[in-house]
Each structure stands twice: as structure tokens, then as C-alpha cells.
Amino acid sequence: MTRIILIIFYYSFYLLFPFLGFLFWKLFQNKKTSIEIIILIIISLFLIWSRFIEPSYLNVKKYDLSVKEKELLSKELKLVIISDLHLGAYNNNFFLKRAVKKINKINPDIVIIPGDFSYYLNDKNIYSIFLELKNIKAIKLAVLGNHDYGKGEKDISQKLTSNLEMLGVLMLDNKIKTIEINNSIIRLVGLEDIWVGSPDYSVLEKNDFNEQIDLSLLIAHNPDTIYDIKDYCSENKNCFHSDLMISGHTHAGQIRLPWLYKHIIPSAYGFNKGFYNIFETNIFVTPGIGNVVLPLRLFNFPEISIINLKY
């Protein structure tokens, strides 16, 4: 029922166009300028922009990060990060197809998806909804986010995981994957979501690793996870150091009205977007490409993030 209500709400924004036409008609009918009508026109234009234009524009933004001392830098890795796709009630596979087309043009070494694939998703056709992910040419690694467990509905996490794996996405919830790229051994570790999952921090212990690692990447949907990692590793001194932790979840506020947006970001520690260094760990938080609650974005374009990582 919630899904149906959200879909109706989503399409109801099309009524803005005839309403705006009516307002312009009223404005030109009146000989005196009507402040009320002008205000309604401005509000309508903002709503049209934030519903139809800004959420549909996939911005590609490049970042640079060096994780070693300058004199030790010798290699480079191109990461593409897309988070919070939220396919379901608002976004669909056509939106995903556009994202995949842009990703393939970037030609990354690795694509990382730090969770929230879905939002009130119809779990009967998960495979077809996410089919376009199969066309990403690079290695694809991911974890689930809080919405991927079925918000207000039955748990779809296992079904979602199995379908994504069939599409070639390596799901790393509480798992480790070691890959070789550009003559480098790269360790990737994923953790389950801290809100609705059961993150197993023991995967961070050094005892499990014998090979020489050139680069360590950690994927966790919620950037607040770093504080739980700190607590765990304070008691278990044998944790390895991650060169970069990659997260999403915040949407960077989604609707970035000055001052107000910071109070709706779902982070207990003030994470927003971009780079942070917490407990000597580099953290990158991407603003994501999808929407929840309201199908709107304002002053906050969906972002496909590229990190040129030097190590």
C-alpha cells in the first residue's frame, strides 16, 4: 500500500504544469500585478526544477586522493562510486541505464556501490530492474544499505543479494575480497549496515590476512560506522588500517536548503559529503543518485563520483 501511495505522489507532480499555466493566465488577466500569484509561480518553478530537472541530471564529479607519502606514490587507481540508487517507487531501470552508460565512458578500474539499491521495490522482478548493472564493464563491488532490507515491508535483503550476484555484483556484506589490478594487490572489505544489519567487525582483524597488500578499501553504507569500528578496534588491537572507507547514506541532505538541510541528514556525527579524516582513516561520502521520502533534489545534483586514488 505504501508503495502505491508513493507512486501516486510521485506522478502527482505533473499537475504542477497545468497549475503553472493557470497561474500565468491569471497573472496576465489582472491589470494589477498580483504578489500572491507571483509567489505561487516562483514556488511552482522551484518544485518543477527539484522534481523533474535536478533529480534527472547525473553529475559526474572528479576527486583526487593520495593515501601515502608523496615520495612513496607510484600507482593510481580509478574508482567510480554510485550510491543510494533507490530503484523502486521513484527511480526505475531507465535511470540506471543512463548511469551505467556514463560509468562505462569513464572506464574505471573498480565500481563501488555502497548500498541502498532499493526504495519500496517490487521484489518480484529484482533481476530485470537491476539488469543494466550487468553491462558495467569494470569490477563491481557493493554492500547493502538500510533500505535494502525492506523498509516497512518484508525483508528482501537475501533476494536482493542473490539477484545482484547473478548480475555480476560482488556483494561484500561482512566479507573480504582480494583482487589484483595494475600489478597491485587490493583488499576490499565490506560491512553490513549499522542500522538494520549485523556488521561483523571481526573481518577487520589482521589474523585473516597473510598476503602482501598494496591498498585496503573498506565499504560501509553509513559513514557513522567508523565510530563503531573505532570502538571495536580499541578493544581488539589487531585491526588492519584501511586506506579509504567509502560510504553513502546521507544524500548530502537531498534538499539542501541553507542551514535546514544539515538537521535532516541521517548522521549522528555530522557527515555530509566529500572527504573526511576520522581516527586517521580517510573517508569518502558520496551524495548518491536517488531519492527517498520526497522525489526531490534541490541544490544537490545526483552524483557519480570518480576518485583518482594515488598510492
Over residues 199-253, the pLDDT tens digits come to 999 999 876 555 789 999 999 999 999 999 999 998 877 888 899 999 999 999 9
> Both 168 and 47 in a single domain?
no
Over the stretch 53-84, which tens digit does the pLDDT of each residue have? 999 999 999 999 999 887 778 899 999 999 99
Q: Are residues 8 and 31 in the same domain?
A: yes
Residue 287 makes CB contacts below 8 A (sequence gap 6+) with: 248, 250, 251, 252, 273, 300, 302, 303
Residues 134 and 247 in one domain: yes
Overall average pLDDT of the 164-172 stretch: 98
pTM: 0.94
CATH of the domain at 221: 3.60.21.10
Burial, 18: exposed, middle or buried (Cβ in 10 Å; 0-12, 13-18, 19+)? exposed
Same-domain pairing of 12 and 146: no
Residue 85 grid coordinates: 540508487
Is pLDDT above 70 for 152?
Answer: no
Q: Are residues 49 and 152 in the same domain?
A: no
The tally of domains found in the chain comes to 2
C-alpha angle 2/93/294, rounded to 5°? 40
Q: What is the pLDDT of residues 10-33, one digit of tens each?
A: 999 999 999 999 999 998 887 677
- Rounded CA separation 292/87 (Å): 10
Q: Which of residues 31, 53, 75 is at a domain's end?
A: 53
User: Domain range for residue 33?
Assistant: 2-53
If you average pLDDT over every residue of the chain, what do you get?
93
